[in-house]
Amino acid sequence: MRRSITTKIIVSYLAIIFITLAFVGVVFGFAAKRFMENQARTSLVKDADAIVELFKKSKDQSNVSEDNIRQLLRERLRIKRDFGAIESSWIILSKENKLLFPRNSEEFQKLKAQVLPQLKPNKDGPSNSIKFSIEGNEYMAVAVPLNIEGTSSIRGWVVLYTPIGPVNKLSQSFVFVLLISLIFTGIIAVAFGIFFARSIAKPIIKLKYRAEKLSLRDFDSKVEIKTGDELEELAETINQMAIELKEYDFAQKKFLQNASHELKTPLMSIQGYAEGIKDGVFEDNDKALQIIVDESTRLKGIVEELIFLSKLETMEDFYRFSSEKINDVIETSIEKVNSLAMKNNIRISSVLYKDEVMRLDRDKITQALINLLSNGLRYANSEIIITTGVTGEYFEIRISDDGEGFDEKDIKNVFKRFYKGKKGNTGLGLAITKVIIEKHKGTIEAVNAENRGAEFIVRLPKGQQVQG
């Protein structure tokens, strides 16, 4: 089952948000727990240091009582309570791990068995901290050395421990708040996701409907999208494509009409003379048969040119590109039509620029130049001139004659299929020439020469220049 683009955008949007928040939640929960445990550890060490200072400040350490220590810790707790501190428990041990303060402790035996072996107090500073469990409750403990010299010297350690269950609960509360935030964020994301998805999908849906109309040959309707981004550019491209497809469709219809007309004329002539011979209408059957042969030949020529034009337009492997000297190609083209020019008393002269090696299909370019020269032979009075040169990155070939030149209508239509001027033949020669030149990434145009007569200007991308 297909999903709409709106659904895909919303699902992707939610997936990204969920994964991001879940990752942030895990990292934040872990970091919050580590931070609070570090705070608890730091607080225990400071409290232990305060107890050590209490002993140091007392002139007679024997005067330090359990009440003094409890009072000190209560005072410190009162100061820290504003920062979320929790109350800690304490014991003072001798270096032999005998209980010194408080005198009676119910938890001492449990601590002595489970905690003290793991603390391993350090004589030079705080010991490592540990986490342990008593009757299902989690605790954290630290030990600080108590080394005081006096009349009643005490050597041992101050051990403070505190429950960290509240710390874990606080971390869990953070995670819970984050989960609630995730839910509300998801709801907001869905709302915004639907809005943005629809704003993105709406123009795409319009483009889809326009493409469907194009498939039904509806070239006149347009799609209007004003998003100021690539979608608007795509809509403009589709509209331009519709215009070009309409023009192409019209050209194809016109081509079929013209082709039908051009093929119909010789066929009707062949049919008429064949039926006349059959019915004995003509006295001179040889003449009628010659007309049939001539029309058949003309018909064959039209069909061959149509096939050739179709191959030029549609078959990329129909071309055989190679490195050729362009002046050799021009001279070969002149040689192929020179006999016809001499027969018509027309001189073909050339003024060629220094040679260029160009990548082209020699046969196709030769055919294109022959078509242009043949067209000139039909309209020239006495001379055809070929000149070449370089214009920017293009090699330019100009073929002009001294005839009457183009009418305005001719210039606009001369390269269209089956368009024939006053002395035109099949109307396909210049159309074939235009396709060949364009397949070589070049251009061709028809103009009226400055000194009278018609002129064709061919521009081909130039290649490596020949030295010498």
Model confidence pLDDT, tens digit, residues 15-41: 777 787 778 777 877 777 787 778 778
Tell me whether residue 219 is in a domain.
no
Which of 254, 289, 316 terminates a domain? The answer is 316
Reported as a single tens digit per residue, the pLDDT across 154-207 is: 567 778 778 777 666 766 777 777 778 777 877 777 777 777 777 777 787 788
Tell me whether residue 407 is in a domain.
yes
Residue 374 to residue 353: CA distance in whole angstroms: 22
Closest CA to 154 of 60, 281, 257, 262: 60
* Per-residue tokens: 415: 């390269």
Tell me whether residue 76 is in a domain.
yes
Quick one: 422 and 274 in the same domain?
A: no
Tell me whether residue 400 is in a domain.
yes
Tell me whether residue 178 is in a domain.
no
Quick one: 29 and 72 in the same domain?
A: yes
Residue 56 to residue 73: CA distance in whole angstroms: 16
Quick one: 83 and 28 in the same domain?
A: yes
Q: Which of 128 and 41 is assigned the larger pLDDT? A: 41
Provide the 3-class DSSP secondary structure of residue 440. Answer: coil
Quick one: 365 and 434 in the same domain?
A: yes
Closest CA to 143 of 163, 119, 162: 119
Quick one: 16 and 137 in the same domain?
A: yes
Residue 456 to residue 177: CA distance in whole angstroms: 81
Please count the helices (runs of H) and the strands (runs of E) in the chain: 11, 12
User: Which segments of 280-343 does DSSP mark as H helices, in order?
Assistant: 285-314, 326-343
Tell me whether residue 409 is in a domain.
yes
Q: For the chain, what percentages of helix, strand and coil (3-state, to nearest 5) are there?
A: 60, 20, 25
Model-wide pTM > 0.75: no
Q: Which of 139 and 367 is assigned the larger pLDDT? A: 367
Helix or strand run (H / E) with residue 389:
strand 383-391
Residue 437 to residue 429: CA distance in whole angstroms: 13
Within 13 Å of residue 234, how many CA atoms lie on the same side as its CB? 12
Quick one: 163 and 304 in the same domain?
A: no
Quick one: 279 and 153 in the same domain?
A: no
Tell me whether residue 205 is in a domain.
no
Q: Give me the percent of the chain exceeding a pLDDT of 70.
A: 76
Q: Which residues contact 191 (CB under 8 A, 6 or more apart)?
A: none
Quick one: 237 and 279 in the same domain?
A: yes
How many separate domains does the chain show?
3
CATH number at residue 302: 1.10.287.130
Cα distances from 370 to residues 337, 399, 433, 456, in angstroms, run 7, 11, 9, 12
The pLDDT assigned to 21 comes to 74
Distance of CA 212 to the CA centre of its chain: 24
Reported as a single tens digit per residue, the pLDDT across 306-346 is: 777 777 777 777 788 888 888 999 999 998 888 888 888 88
Reported as a single tens digit per residue, the pLDDT across 44-86 is: 888 778 777 777 766 555 556 666 666 666 666 555 544 445 5
**Which of the residue ranges 106-120, 297-311, 349-363, 385-399 would you say has the lowest mean pLDDT?**
106-120
Closest CA to 194 of 17, 1, 22, 5: 5
The pLDDT assigned to 460 comes to 92
* Per-residue tokens: 365: 């370019």
Which of 173, 194, 217 terminates a domain? The answer is 173
Reported as a single tens digit per residue, the pLDDT across 272-288 is: 888 888 888 777 788 88
Quick one: 101 and 150 in the same domain?
A: yes
Quick one: 99 and 62 in the same domain?
A: yes
Provide the 3-class DSSP secondary structure of residue 467. Answer: coil
- By residue range, what is the domain housing residue 330? 319-461
Mean pLDDT score across all residues of the chain: 76
Q: Are 437 and 366 in contact (CB under 8 A)?
A: no
Tell me whether residue 206 is in a domain.
no
The pLDDT assigned to 50 comes to 79
Quick one: 41 and 79 in the same domain?
A: yes
Quick one: 335 and 267 in the same domain?
A: no
Pairing state of beta strands 383-391 and 347-351? parallel
The pLDDT assigned to 369 comes to 92
The pLDDT-based confidence of 102 (bands split at 50, 70, 90) is: low
418 φψ region: left (φ > 0), alpha (ψ -120 to 50), beta (else): left
HEC letters along 3-48: CCHHHHHHHHHHHHHHHHHHHHHHHHHHHHHHHHHHHHHHHHHHHH
CATH number at residue 447: 3.30.565.10
Which of 301, 316, 331 terminates a domain? The answer is 316
